[in-house]
Structure 1
Amino acid sequence: MTRVRGNPQRWGLIAGLLAAVFFGLSAPLISVISREGSPLMIAALLYAGAAIALLMVRGVLGHQQEESPVQRRDFPPLLGLTILGGMVGPICLVQGLTLVSAGSASLLLNLEAVFTLLIAVLIGREHLSRKGLIATVLILTGAVLLTEGSLNGATVLGTVLIAGACLAWGIDNNLSQRLSLRDPLQIALLKAIGASVPMLILALAAGQTLPAWPALLALLSIGAVGYGLSIWLDLLALRHLGAARESVVFSTAPFVGLLFSVLVLREAFTGGMAMASALMVLGITVLLKEDHGHWHRHEPLRHAHRHRHDPAGGDPHHQHDHSGDELPADMPQGPCWHAHEHLHQPIAHEHAHVSDIHHRHGHRHGL
């Protein structure tokens, strides 16, 4: 059992920003060595590096997190996010990076936020305000600007491939958000192993060879940070922010990649990229200014996940009784975190909230 440390949404924001920075740096770095092997082999090695990093993190943390483990009913969505996010997305990205510049590719990765948000709203019942709609249009317009071949080599085929990767990751993000109540480190590790092993076997069976040692170590290192640590941190952000708002935070990733491409890789910063950047930054700014709060009702809900227990009150969503085996004898006197199955009683109240797993409700016009 661990003591409460700060506001969960604040920690979710920090985790999301770190995940965005790590992933944002990965795209331009991959572009440098994207021709050192087939897209299948490169994707396999990226997730192999992710698995190694997550195993190391798990060895350090052990069972300190008191998380709810993955259950049998979680395997279908876990399989879906592993195939789409762990295989289809990386393969499309690596292939697309051979056809567009690193800077243009970084900006095109903003489409992941748009797809994540649209799927969250249209299928996942998350709320999208007028500001959210305006922001989505702005980001999409910026992406369209990058589809012209004159804009620093962003060919149509390359754009389609990277957009396909973003769509796969958008579905992955929404599936991950549904599983975010489970142990995020366990989910990230299962995804990394489940993606890397089959792809590596397929690549070797097809006669493909491992790249030279410098490229091999580079790919494993990029995967460790840009995929392994990034996926784990992003799952924490999805838990506390919901898929729609997480997509806003993660929209900073493409601009990290763009800055790296221009400042480190010395790529040209074209007028088209400047216009696309301005539109996408404006869209992200509009979304960040959204503040959603109103009177709403929670229906009864039973599930298991890590949550805050505060004997003196606190989170009104988790004020419930505990049986003897749910609270250990050495439980701290103050607030703490723990995980067990519990029932949410019906409650109606008003507060600022995001579309996390506890706030999936309908909205009247204007809310």
Structure 2
Amino acid sequence: MIAGLLAALFFGLSAPLISVFSRDGSPLMIAALLYGGATFGLLIVRGFVVHQQEESPIQRQDLPPLLGISILGGMVGPICLVQGLTLLPAGSASLLLNLEAVFTLLIAVLIGREHLSGKGLIAAVLILSGAVLLTDSSFDGATLQGTLLIGGACLAWGIDNNLSQRLSLRDPLQIALLKAIGASAPMLILALASGQSLPAAPAVLGLLAIGTVGYGLSIWLDLLALRHLGAAREAVVFATAPFVGVLFSVLALREAFTGAMAMASALMLLGVAVLLKEHHAHWHRHQAFRHAHRHKHDPVVGDLHHSHLHPEGSPSTGNAQQGYWHAHEHQHEPIEHYHPHVSDAHHRHRHQQGL
């Protein structure tokens, strides 16, 4: 939950900041610089955490969804956003980013077969109601073209979030870094090849800095949230990002703070509070399946899903009581049990009505 809120905070700040530089270059060049900054920031993070945790690396079967998130989330989304920011006030554009949560939630529940409990649905309604309340009072300066561009960006990111959730058991830092490189390099090459020039040095540095935090760190933290929450719940948490953008626009860009904004803020904060108190538990059955990801065997409280043995001579042999994090391919045997859970990779089962 904390990772998701931080990802929303960093991304929410990025939209109004990008609007400051949106006319300093083409949307393609600006998007390339944003993801260039993301690449730089993630390389720094990699230097600090790469030896501190065991993760399952990208596999060959992961390449199609990785390509999808690089194109949709890394190219289409940012280009549409930057172009839309040239046509809309920063506050209006920030508020329209609430559509990302709507698209992510709909795709996760209707297509991805994720589950939201009663409290989860209440939280979603509260936060999205706040989004609608904010948006409804902010279209004075919007244009249809700008609205459609921001909507297109949100749809691309909604698909991106659901594809990313399918990759969330892999190394999130590796996924984020490959996505950033896979987006920034082609866009930069295409921009330069088409004769587009770099913005002035202050704009370049500003966009790289925004990309480092608002895209690099945000993508990595969002992947961690997707792993633990599922795409539907992550969408509810991430719906706070536009509120952050509006707040920054009011405080830093001196836009007016209306009564609708105050009411929407209360609704969104209440929705996050409800989600924090969500407790989804029932008797369910797991089918047998095999996969690889980061996990540990907790000797104190036990692990309901990872009770497998390790081959003789493997690095974990003799250390099972340490409960340390490690990653390898392992088999899940069929099991029926009762415990709290979310729609993560281990819990994509059907639910009876009312559960």
Which TM-score band applies after superposition, normalised by the shorter structure?
over 0.9
Return the offset for 1:254: 1.5
Task: Look up the match of 2:105.
Answer: 117
Tell me, in whole angstroms, the C-alpha distance in 1 between the residues paired with 2:207 and 2:230.
Answer: 30
Specify the code of the residue in structure 1 equivalent to 2:20.
Answer: V
Tell me, in whole angstroms, the C-alpha distance in 1 between the residues paired with 2:47 and 2:334.
Answer: 40
Tell me, in whole angstroms, the C-alpha distance in 2 between the residues paired with 1:50 and 1:186.
Answer: 13
Return the offset for 1:284: 4.8
Task: Look up the match of 1:253.
Answer: 241
Unaligned runs of 5+ in 2: none
Seen in structure 2, the aligned counterparts of structure 1 residues 100 and 134 have a Cα distance that, compared at 3 Å, is: farther
Task: Look up the match of 2:24.
Answer: 36
Seen in structure 2, the aligned counterparts of structure 1 residues 27 and 326 have a Cα distance that, compared at 3 Å, is: farther
Tell me, in whole angstroms, the C-alpha distance in 2 between the residues paired with 1:241 and 1:186.
Answer: 20
Give yes or no for the alignment of 1:72 onto 2:31: no
Specify the code of the residue in structure 2 equivalent to 1:218.
Answer: G
Specify the code of the residue in structure 1 equivalent to 2:173.
Answer: L
Within 5 A, what are the aligned runs for 1:75-90?
75-90=63-78
Return the offset for 1:348: 1.1
Give yes or no for the alignment of 1:202 onto 2:190: yes
Cα RMSD of the aligned pairs, angstroms, is 2.3
Return the offset for 1:252: 2.0
Return the offset for 1:129: 3.6
Unaligned runs of 5+ in 1: 1-12
Specify the code of the residue in structure 2 equivalent to 1:192.
Answer: A
Residue-by-residue CA offset, 1:61-98 (whole Å, 9 max, x unaligned): 33332111001110000000111100111111111112
Q: Tell me if structure 1 keeps the 8 A contact 2:81–2:150.
A: yes
Return the offset for 1:304: 0.3
Give the secondary structure class of the aligned counterpart of 1:360: coil
Specify the code of the residue in structure 2 equivalent to 1:198.
Answer: P
Task: Look up the match of 2:37.
Answer: 49
Quick one: which of 222, 227, 235 aligns to 1:234? Answer: 222
Give the secondary structure class of the aligned counterpart of 1:309: coil
Return the offset for 1:281: 4.9
Return the offset for 1:147: 6.0
- Could you state the TM-score of these two structures normalised by the residue count of structure 2? 0.92
Q: Tell me if structure 2 keeps the 8 A contact 1:148–1:156.
A: no
Specify the code of the residue in structure 2 equivalent to 1:154.
Answer: A
Specify the code of the residue in structure 1 equivalent to 2:72.
Answer: L
Q: Tell me if structure 1 keeps the 8 A contact 2:101–2:239.
A: yes
Within 5 A, what are the aligned runs for 1:327-342?
327-328=315-316, 331=319, 333-342=321-330
Tell me, in whole angstroms, the C-alpha distance in 2 between the residues paired with 1:254 and 1:366.
Answer: 31
Specify the code of the residue in structure 1 equivalent to 2:108.
Answer: A
Q: Tell me if structure 2 keeps the 8 A contact 1:105–1:162.
A: yes
Specify the code of the residue in structure 1 equivalent to 2:246.
Answer: L
Identity of aligned residues (%): 78
Seen in structure 2, the aligned counterparts of structure 1 residues 328 and 279 have a Cα distance that, compared at 3 Å, is: closer
- Could you state the TM-score of these two structures normalised by the residue count of structure 1? 0.89
Tell me, in whole angstroms, the C-alpha distance in 1 between the residues paired with 2:258 and 2:206.
Answer: 29
Return the offset for 1:267: 1.1
Q: Tell me if structure 2 keeps the 8 A contact 1:152–1:270.
A: no
Within 5 A, what are the aligned runs for 1:14-25?
14-25=2-13
Seen in structure 2, the aligned counterparts of structure 1 residues 263 and 328 have a Cα distance that, compared at 3 Å, is: same
Return the offset for 1:277: 4.7
Seen in structure 2, the aligned counterparts of structure 1 residues 164 and 137 have a Cα distance that, compared at 3 Å, is: farther
Quick one: which of 104, 116, 137 aligns to 2:92? Answer: 104
Tell me, in whole angstroms, the C-alpha distance in 2 between the residues paired with 1:329 and 1:297.
Answer: 29
Specify the code of the residue in structure 2 equivalent to 1:225.
Answer: V
Return the offset for 1:226: 0.6
Return the offset for 1:316: 1.0
Residue-by-residue CA offset, 1:110-129 (whole Å, 9 max, x unaligned): 22122111111111110134
Tell me, in whole angstroms, the C-alpha distance in 2 between the residues paired with 1:239 and 1:326.
Answer: 26
Residue-by-residue CA offset, 1:178-210 (whole Å, 9 max, x unaligned): 001111111000000000011111111221110
Within 5 A, what are the aligned runs for 1:70-219?
70-133=58-121, 135-136=123-124, 143=131, 151-219=139-207
Tell me, in whole angstroms, the C-alpha distance in 1 between the residues paired with 2:26 and 2:307.
Answer: 53
Q: Tell me if structure 2 keeps the 8 A contact 1:114–1:139.
A: no
Tell me, in whole angstroms, the C-alpha distance in 1 between the residues paired with 2:123 and 2:96.
Answer: 15
Return the offset for 1:270: 3.5
Q: Tell me if structure 2 keeps the 8 A contact 1:114–1:136.
A: no
Return the offset for 1:327: 2.9
Q: Tell me if structure 2 keeps the 8 A contact 1:108–1:146.
A: no
